[in-house]
Structure 1
Amino acid sequence: MTYVSVQTQIYSPQGWDLSDIYKSFDEPKFEQDLTGLQQKVAEFQHHYRGQVSQLTPEEMARCLQQLEVLSEQYSYLDTFANLVFCANTRSSEAKQFFNDTKLALTRIYNQLLFFNLELQDLDTTQFDELQASSALQQYNHYLNRIAQFRPHRLPEEAERTRNRDMLTGRFAFVQLYSVHRGEQDYEPVATPDDKQVETPAQLEALLFHSDGDVRYEAYCSLHQEMERHNGLYGFILNAICQDHRIESQMRGYPSTFHKQLLAADVPESVFRLIMDGVSDRIDLFQRYYQLKGQAIGQKIRTCDLNTPWTADDPLLKLDYKTGVQTLLNALKPFDVFYANRASDFFSKRWVDTKVRPGKASGVFSFPTFAKHSYLSLCYTEDYHSLFTLAHQVGRGLQFSRTRDRQTYFNTQPPLLLREVASIFNKLLLFDYLLKEAADDPLRKQAVLTRMLEDQFNLLFYQSTISRLELALHERAAQGSFDHSFVNEQWLEFYRQLCGDAVEVLPEHQYDWAGMSHIFTQPFSSYQYAAASIVSLACYQQYQAVGKDFIPSYFDFLAAGSSMNPVEALRQTVGVDLEDPATVNGAFYYVEGLIDQLQAML
């Protein structure tokens, strides 16, 4: 396809067009595809069950190709059910459709369990021969991952039972959390222009408001719901942590922490290096907010973290049409083809940006193999939404590169690698806005503060969440906990981060209830910090060598899950995440931005 322009005619926030997968959840084709997949999986099982050890490398390659086709068809059904539910978590029809589909897909998944289990049963010599075969070269990392999980496998019937139990166990609690959050009604907050704001996305946008009373009221409205249901969310979180503990014990992991590290394909040494690096530089967080407090003439409270430095901050309101075009303009200097691929997300409605009750909270993406990603966020007519949009589009663009180069099993990179593209996209946007503000000191200051606060969220806030998770899962290993324990732990860790620079309001003890990842994907938060460190290293390379950096960056995007994260970064963009200098380099860069900002005051 030839791309010649980055103009796209988008005028207002829009919902998804899911017709690339299915037109609706009652479309006959969905049921036909589900039935067809069940039949194909049964045929696959009949043909290969008990035969895996007899396959030659060439036969194994053909078998894996068949399995990829089945997995691709499975992913369409699964993705569509998730998207229908996330679009409206209050819809009883969507919930029923989602639950029914998950039940059917779990049965299908259980029929395919035998394959990996039989692979793991091969003796070391035979498995090594498969890995060394040129016929299986493209599946090398996939086979490595199967081998890594070998010590933690269960007998097939136990694996089947575990998967079925998940529907009424951990998965059910995760869904309960999502449904309950989506059904909450928040205390409306009146803005100075006499508007009533009451959706979570709109209330979160008010935390960037220049009026301190408005910020505080929005902050209280959000946290009142977390406080009101504090006991329920504590109960759900404890149940999820206990389920992880039980699974870890069943599979022989030292802890949930180690189980999740293996799932993320990240060495413990990288986790420790990042967490220690962040802890050593919390002075940057505190220094920045002390400066900010001096600038606005009051001590920063937790509701003021995102307050503008001046009442006439030029980076407040931004309509959707202008925001989309600003993002595309920011990507164009990097690579026009890259920017044009980004425009497809808007012109083809692959992104849901509408603010509405019942929409699943948070921002997320669902990649659909051989097609594209579907993205979700709430655009609230401000620059914060623009940066979130840049973040999500970065994830979608990475998948499009991976999809072009890899087969299905190599298109599932861990969160760490997925987030690099997202954060790098935001850095390109910051770079564009800084150049646009070159002759406007007030605007330049506003851009710098937004960039810094984004890095503080990624590096410090996310790492603090990981500290909380360590405490929660260590406690779960000893016995149950309740909401009070979580409240106390979160306050303690957050106060350590803030020091004397930020007043931690009492309501902040409930903040954890809004952190969906600690419920859905434990020990993922540090990966945002790691991705920020990598993105800054890549960004500095781009600033140093210009467009010569782009081919290696595109190779990184295309790597997908064909290599482990550490090797993928070394071999493509030359970033060594196991080197303390890489971690320290990110903090030196942030420190330089603070110095630059302080010189402007």
Structure 2
Amino acid sequence: MTKHFRPVFDAAEKGAQELGQLPEWDLSDLYPAPDAPELKRDMDWLKQECAAFAADYEGKLATLDAAGLLECVRRYERISTVSGRIMSYAGLRYYQATTDAERAKFLSDCQDRITDYTTPLVFFSLEFNRLEDDHLARLLAENADLARYKPVFDRMRKMRPHQLSDELERFLHDQSVVGASAWNKLFDETIAGLTFEVDGEELGIEATLNLLTEHDRAKREAAARALARVFTANIKLFARVHNTLVKEKEIEDRWRKMPTPQYSRHLANDVEPEVVEALRNAVVAAYPKLSHRYYELKRRWLGLDKLQVWDRNAPLPMEEPRLIPWEEAEKLVLDAYAEFSPKMAEIARPFFEKGWIDAGVKPGKAPGAFAHPTVTEVHPYVLLNYLGKPRDVMTLAHELGHGVHQVLAAGQGELLSSTPLTLAETASVFGEMLTFRKLLASARDNATRKVLLAGKVEDQINTVVRQIAFYDFECKLHAARREEGELTPEHIGALWMSVQAESLGPAFEFMEGYESFWSYIPHFVHSPFYVYAYAFGDGLVNALYAVYEEGDPAFQEKYLEMLKAGGSKHHSELLAPFGLDARDPAFWDKGLSMISRMIDELEAMEG
């Protein structure tokens, strides 16, 4: 049966009429087309170079002098760049239309070939980690260009206690295309293909979720119930995806002797488990003074005995419905960036002018928003699903912040530019804060200021409280799967509801079907335990912004230098120039206090 997406097309037509011309990606900076000779050339080069690299270096790393090891690392970096360029192109084409069979096949074929070609490289990190510490230290001391890569080497060598035999590591590398990545694609294609009937109209997931921010409460309820119906109808498939991925992770963690399910994420993020635990504990302890207190205010504003889940992101009664045309959103964000630093606006402007943003809502397009760094010799691309809401403008400011960060860090080169997830949110959340402060400064009256403040508090609750609740859900999910075996959809739903009730507080009651809403969160599938990075980034930015407001005259220069560092420095080194230390529990309280003070101001307005 053919499914009709008429209202989604309506949204696109509406976008053209009311929002202005929404930009689309021009991916030709990566490759002109899937059958382009340039792509074939790179794929052929990759096949030959991976084999040559293994022939030249396998079993010989310990015999290399400093210059020889530097050449080896640079060749490895070049392979990373070329393979990253191909996969960026294939992935971005796919995210534009995840239900397009040709694009899905192209992505799979690229992934399969690159996995095959790079299998001979598996030896590199394993053999490198077997180098003696004293020997490596001598080589680094002899060659400054090689010493530049020390942060990469340090992160690699943190895996030393957890690496397996060369043969097993090759097996895991080969098997990955039919493991997690295959389940990820099944999830993506299923989510993108779902349709939701709301008041007789068929909508995709992005348009349906957007209705949860409508003024009309009946429309919000209809959307929430449609989401619950469809998620519940597909819940067995989603439970299968989660059970399989969590079990796969448990097996690999066991073989690698990872002490906890979260530990591999902490290693990847280059952050100490105790720092994450301090963040988590600070946020959970703050639930009553943050989310519980705010939602009680919102319950009173909406004149309700209890909030329902479809009221969580409802506009305030005094908020006037408003669509923000794309041109206005562009000017607002660029002006906010420019007032902080002309350099930031200069870096951001080409995103709007050169086809680096794909903004419209389209059938089959990946939901949500992201900034993809691609590779350092090209530039990032930003994906949005822009519908003209004020929150969409904040999303634009957020993703553009990622893009600016990625452009600035590109100077570090392919291996050093990538920022751990805990720091990856720094520029994005800061960009949001700059845009919010500009809006707040121009508020024409107290009612407008109240709406803006409430919106910002809600965004921060979604970023901090909601994401830590997500993190707790994942911790419970992985622990239960390890202790009790296969989890039923009902069991997973019960874990979800336990963290939702705790984090949202007594102002809420929960509709039947809400226990299925864990099923559509992509981070649980794509990046286990990723979500605490949002709270980490928000807390870090709030603390940074407090330093900025204190008037440090060199703040902008130090901030841009921090972004330029990419992944070349640990979070402690990056924050030291600002007098901040994430290992200090008071650091997180400082960030949370900023949210609390905004709620104080909202409560004072009630008086």
Q: What TM-score results when the alignment is normalised by the length of structure 2?
A: 0.93
Q: Matched residues in 2 for 1:106 and 1:435: separation?
A: 51
Contact 1:420/1:535 (<8 A) preserved: yes
Alpha-carbon distance change, 485 to 316 in structure 1, aligned in 2, over 3 angstroms: farther
Instruction: Name 2:227's counterpart in structure 1.
Output: 222
Q: What is the RMSD computed on CA atoms of the aligned residues?
A: 1.6
In structure 2, the CA distance between the partners of 1:316 and 1:286, relative to structure 1 (3 Å rule), is: farther
Which position in structure 1 is the counterpart of 2:361? Answer: 355
Looking at structure 2, the residues matched to 361 and 314 of structure 1 have their Cα atoms a distance apart, in angstroms, of 26
**C-alpha deviations, 1:22-61, integer Å up to 9, x for none?**
1221223212210112112222222222211111122212
1:248 counterpart (248, 253, 273): 253
Q: 2:147 aligns with which of 118, 121, 137?
A: 137
**Corresponding letter in the other structure for 2:183:** F
- Is 1:420–2:429 an aligned residue pair? no
Distance in structure 1 (CA, Å) of the matches to 2:153 and 2:245: 30
Cα 1:342/1:187, change in 2 over 3 Å: same
Check the 8 A contact 1:186/1:199 in 2, yes or no.
Answer: yes
What is the CA distance between 1:260 and its match in structure 2? 2.0
Alpha-carbon distance, 1:189 to partner: 4.1
**Is contact 1:315-1:383 (8 Å) kept?**
no
Q: CA deviation at 1:131?
A: 4.4
Amino acid at match of 1:178: D
Change in CA separation of 1:273 and 1:104 when aligned onto 2, cut-off 3 Å: same
Instruction: Kindly state the Cα deviation for residue 546 of structure 1 after the two structures are TM-superposed.
Output: 5.7
Mapped contact 1:189–1:198 kept (Cα < 8 A): no
- SS of the equivalent of 1:545 reads coil
* Equivalence for 2:51: 42
State the match for 1:396 in structure 2. Answer: 403
Work out which of the residue numbers 85, 94, 100 in structure 2 matches 1:91. Answer: 100
Distance change in 2, residues 1:43/1:176 (3 Å)? same
- What corresponds to 2:510 in structure 1? 504
Shift of 1:14: 2.1
1:169-318 equivalence runs, <5 A: 169-189=179-199, 198-283=203-288, 284-298=290-304, 299-310=306-317, 312-314=318-320, 316-318=322-324
Q: Which residue of 2 aligns with 1:159?
A: 169
Checking the alignment, whether the CA contact within 8 Å between 2:198 and 2:226 is kept in structure 1 is yes
Give 1:573 deviation, angstroms. Answer: 3.5
2:40 to 7, 18, 31: 31
Q: Which digits, 9 at most, give the CA deviation of each residue in 1:398-435, with x for residues without a partner? A: 0111013x121111111111111111100001100001
How far did 1:62 drift?
A: 2.1
Counterpart-to-counterpart distance in 2, 1:131 and 1:21: 34
SS at match of 1:503: coil
| CA deviations over 1:444-491 (Å, ceiling 9, x no partner) | 111101110011011100000110111111122222212111100000
Does residue 326 of structure 2 align to residue 320 of structure 1?
Answer: yes
CA distance in 2, matches of 1:223, 1:55: 60
CA deviation string 1:126-170 (max 9, x = no partner): 233344444322111111112111111122221111112111122
Shift of 1:372: 1.1
Would the alpha carbon gap of residues 366 and 578 (structure 1) be closer, same or farther in structure 2, given more than 3 Å must change? same
Residue from 527, 538, 542 that aligns with 1:521: 527
In structure 2, stretches of 5+ residues that fail to align are 1-18
C-alpha distance in 2, partners of 1:579/1:452?
A: 24
Q: State the partner residue of 2:560.
A: 554
State the SS of the aligned residue for 1:506: coil
Separation in 2, partners of 1:371, 1:280 = 44
Specify the code of the residue in structure 1 equivalent to 2:311.
D
Q: Is the CA contact 1:328–1:342 (under 8 Å) kept in the aligned structure 2?
A: yes
What displacement does 1:234 show? 0.6
Checking the alignment, whether the CA contact within 8 Å between 2:308 and 2:508 is kept in structure 1 is: yes
Distance 1:108 1:475, change over 3 A: same
Residue type at the aligned position of 1:386: V
Q: CA deviation at 1:212?
A: 0.8
Distance change >3 Å, CA 357–CA 108, structure 1 → 2: same
| One-letter code aligned to 1:443 | T
2:438 alignment partner in structure 1: 432
Gaps of 5+ in 1: 1-9, 191-195
User: 1:120 — aligned with what?
Assistant: 129
**Residue equivalent to 1:476:** 481
Secondary structure in 1 aligned to 2:382? strand
2:551 counterpart letter in structure 1: V
Mean Cα displacement is larger for which, 133-142 or 535-544? 133-142
Once the two structures are superposed, residues 505-535 of structure 1 have per-residue CA deviations (whole angstroms, 9 ceiling, x without a partner) of 2222111111100111011111111110000
Q: Is the 8 A contact 1:413 1:561 kept in 2?
A: yes
Q: Which residue of 2 aligns with 1:377?
A: 384
| Structure 1 residue 547, shift from structure 2 partner | 5.1
Deviation at 1:296, TM superposition (A): 1.6
Cα deviation, residue 315, structure 1: 6.4
Q: How far apart are residue 259 of structure 1 and its match? A: 1.9
* Deviation for aligned residue 1:550: 0.5
Provide, for residues 545-591 of structure 1, a one-character-per-residue CA deviation record: whole Å limited to 9, x for no partner.
Answer: 16531011111101111122333333x43321111111111121111
8 Å Cα contact 1:186-1:221 kept in structure 2: yes
Query: 1:4 aligns to what?
Result: none
Structure 2: which amino acid aligns with 1:237? H
Describe the superposition over 1:209-234 as per-residue Cα deviations: whole angstroms up to 9, x where unpaired. Answer: 11111111112222322111111101
* Equivalent residues of 2:371, 2:400 under 8 A apart: no
Are 1:329 and 2:335 an aligned pair? Answer: yes
Alignment partner, residue 6 of structure 1: none
Aligned residue number for residue 544 of structure 1 = 550
Q: 2:458 aligns with which of 453, 464, 478?
A: 453
2:85 matches 1:76? yes
Question: How far 1:598 moved relative to its partner?
Answer: 1.6
Q: Note the C-alpha offset of 1:502.
A: 1.7
SS at match of 1:362: coil
Structure 1 position 22 matched with structure 2 position 28:
no
Question: How far does residue 305 in structure 1 lie from its aligned partner after superposition?
Answer: 0.9
In structure 2, which of residues 157, 167, 173 is the aligned counterpart of residue 147 of structure 1?
A: 157
User: Normalized against structure 1, the TM-score is what?
Assistant: 0.94
Aligned-pair identity (%): 28
Shift of 1:343: 1.6
- Give the aligned length: 583
* Separation in structure 2 between the aligned mates of residue 197 and residue 343 of structure 1, nearest angstrom: 36
Higher deviation after alignment, 134-143 or 588-597:
134-143
Q: Secondary structure at the match of 1:187?
A: strand
Q: Is the 8 A contact 1:205 1:384 kept in 2?
A: no
Deviations 1:315-367 (A, max 9, x none): 64212221111111221100122112212111111111110111112222221
